[in-house]
Structure 1
Amino acid sequence: MRLEQRLADGDEAALAECYTALGPLVRRHAGRLVPDHAVDDVVQLVFLEVWRSRGRFDPSRGLEPWVLTIARKRAIDQLRAEARHSRRSVPLEDTAGVPDRTSAVDAACDIREALAGLPAPQRQAIVLAHFGQLTQKEIADRLCIPLGTVKARTTRGLRRMRDLL
């Protein structure tokens, strides 16, 4: 029986043979896409997924292209994860250049207090527009009120907040 069919049938020895045969190819492929420190992780994820998704594998279509497709997807996932992580973290040597967030926190507290001082309908319209990212039409539909009412509540609320701030 061919390696492809044995893998599709769930033969664990076939997975080991697949790793022996395709591991270096997957490693080279991943090495072109991700940094060196992430290659081993990507290779491990690829063969884990090969095993887990063996039921979806069609042996007649070829093992190598299927495994390399998985490798490409896992490499992209790795790059995205690293990009998310790098946006969240600041290297220790760069902490001197980090702006002071105290004023932003103070401003957020002031805005929260100003919102609390608004009548409920105005506060609701502003919160849905700015924090819920809804358009005035969407707010009108959600609250079952006319569009003009939403516009008036938002305008009056923002004016009152400006005065409060």
Structure 2
Amino acid sequence: MPRDDATRLSALYDAHAAPVWRYVVHLTGDRAAADDVVQETLLRAWRTPRILEQDPASTRSWMFTVARHLVIDDARSAHRRREIAVAETPDVATSDLTDALFEAILVEEALATLSADHRTVIVRAYYGGLAIAEIAAELDIPPGTVKSRLHYGLRALRLALQEKGVTR
């Protein structure tokens, strides 16, 4: 491996390996599998020169997406399905919550980028299920202000998610 490639790979590892590893452990609960996924993710990034030329935030977003796909591919693989051995068949089938977990993490990170005022009305409206009038009364602000904050907050949230590569 040429010296320049070794330097770039080392810088890529230093900047992104730990967050990607924590993310994969969060998804899978398996530290050993996380090591393998991080290694494969770094290898794919190194093999994709355009990724190394992007800004660090875009590179990290790309790496999180690749890691997520590797986790999903592993979970869906026939190899993985044959390895699961249980004494008794479970009564209730459990669904794979990987997608929901990933989406929750992305939304949480995007909400954190908003101003406190915008975040407050969005959380109360969408997660709290409150109407405009209820939010206005609770925050002691006019309903028009709630509507405005909700509009501009959702707009900022959409932009934050676009920056993470979630929406167009």
TM-score by length of 1: 0.42
TM-score by length of 2: 0.41
Larger Rg: 1
